[in-house]
Structure 1
Amino acid sequence: MKAQLLKAFKYRQLIDMMYIANDGTISKRRVKILKVSGDSFQAYCFLRREKRHFKISHVLSCMPVRTKERQIV
């Protein structure tokens, strides 16, 4: 999981992730990783609209956000 997060950080990709909080609640979040340090990372969370700290061990899954460019014909 850490390798995927580091890759998203390196290429400045947005990611969708499933995250389990300390109290056991699971949420889906879209984040942009700002900093990775040790076993945690700081990211801008689009769900909460603020910078948040996340534990890498609490990330259940993550996937880069793919966007298609629209063309005007």
Structure 2
Amino acid sequence: MNTVLQRSFMDQRPIEIIYMTPESICTKRKIIVKKIDRDIILAYCLLRKDLRRFRLHDILAAYPLLHDKKRTIS
């Protein structure tokens, strides 16, 4: 997962994460990583159209976006 986050940071390309909110709700976000700290990711959230902080231990999965919209990850 860290490799995907670092690749997004280096290439400034969006990735998709599955994230557990503080209310224990799983949500899917498309983000572009702007900064990686020890426990926090600062990223531009394409859903909220704003910079957001994500705690690393609350990110359950991270994967690159597929270029072909017809393809999905199962």
Q: Same fold (TM over 0.5)?
A: yes
Paired residue for 2:26? Answer: 26
The count of aligned residue pairs is: 68
Q: Mind listing any 5+ residue stretches in structure 2 that lack a counterpart?
A: 69-74
Distance in 2, Cα, partners of 1:29 & 1:46: 7
Paired residue for 1:65? Answer: 65
TM-score normalised by L of structure 1: 0.81
Larger-Rg structure? 1
Identity of aligned residues (%): 26
Distance in 2, Cα, partners of 1:12 & 1:49: 15
RMSD: 1.3
Query: Which segments of structure 1 move beyond 2 Å, counting only runs of 4 or more?
Result: 1-4
In the TM superposition, what are the counterparts of 1:38-57 in structure 2 within 5 Å? 38-57=38-57
Matched residue type, 1:59: I
